[in-house]
Amino acid sequence: MIKNISLSKVRNLLLFYLRLFGLYMLFFICANFVQRIFPDLDITKYSQDYLQEIFKNNRLKAFLAIIIFAPVIEELMFRTLIKPKISGLLLFLSSWTLFIIGSLFSLGFAWYYQYILTFIVLYGIFFIYKNILPEIQLEKVICFLNRHQSVVLQVTSLIFGFIHISNYVDSFQINSTLVLLITPRIIAGHMFGQLKIKNDHIIWSILLHALNNGIVFLIISSK
């Protein structure tokens, strides 16, 4: 029985990956059509320079950042709110606390020490929240989130997409071209969330996220 469940979840992962790839193809066909009608929507004026810079300086760092670090941290920040358990809700709070701390403080450590420290601090924050937050209140939040699961899925997908505007510009701004650029992230966020619901565990959305980012890694590597 366990083997059958595992195989079905792996099959779901592969099916969602194929669907996501198909949706990307459909998006790019539509985006090309829209750009022909509205030439001002020039997506070439924005680029992910920081990713290309990481590739140029350190391919191992780029691989770990894109394939492992980003999928884990971003899924904890967003998909833990979808069909959550108590541990997921605590991870959501922990990851966003870590994000805020990281935004306020910059450490001069080597990148690999920063990655290791990130996960150590994340565990520490999780341990603190686990011991100070009452389970009964967390259960109430979980009930609320489960009642509004479809709304949570859409909202987290949108926020996930819009937070990736920082990939293209230094300060947050919104225009039609940037909205067009982040639309694939919104689509991806939706698919990651759906797989989390389908397979009932955050690890599956992390794996789909990692597979998705693998496309980005290969594209940038080929340049």
- Summarised one tens digit per residue, pLDDT across range 127-138 is 999 999 999 999
Confidence label for 198 from pLDDT (cuts 50, 70 and 90):
very high
pLDDT in tens, 91-126: 999 999 999 998 888 777 888 899 999 999 999 999
Question: Which sequence spans correspond to the domains of the chain?
Answer: 48-221
Q: Are residues 73 and 80 in contact, defined by beta-carbon separation less than 8 angstroms?
A: no
Contacts of 7 (CB under 8 A, 6+ apart): none
pLDDT in tens, 30-77: 988 888 888 878 777 777 777 777 777 788 888 999 999 999 999 999
pLDDT score, position 90 = 97
The three-class DSSP label of residue 66 is: helix
- Whether residue 1 has pLDDT greater than 60: no
Q: In Å, how far from its chain's centre is CA 214?
A: 13
Confidence label for 223 from pLDDT (cuts 50, 70 and 90):
low
pLDDT in tens, 20-42: 999 999 999 998 888 888 887 87
Burial of 40 (0-12, 13-18, 19+ CB in 10 A): exposed
Q: Are residues 168 and 181 in contact, defined by beta-carbon separation less than 8 angstroms?
A: yes
Of residues 177 and 74, which shows the higher confidence score? 74
CA–CA distances in Å: residue 154 to residues 3, 4, 104, 138, 145? 32, 31, 29, 22, 12
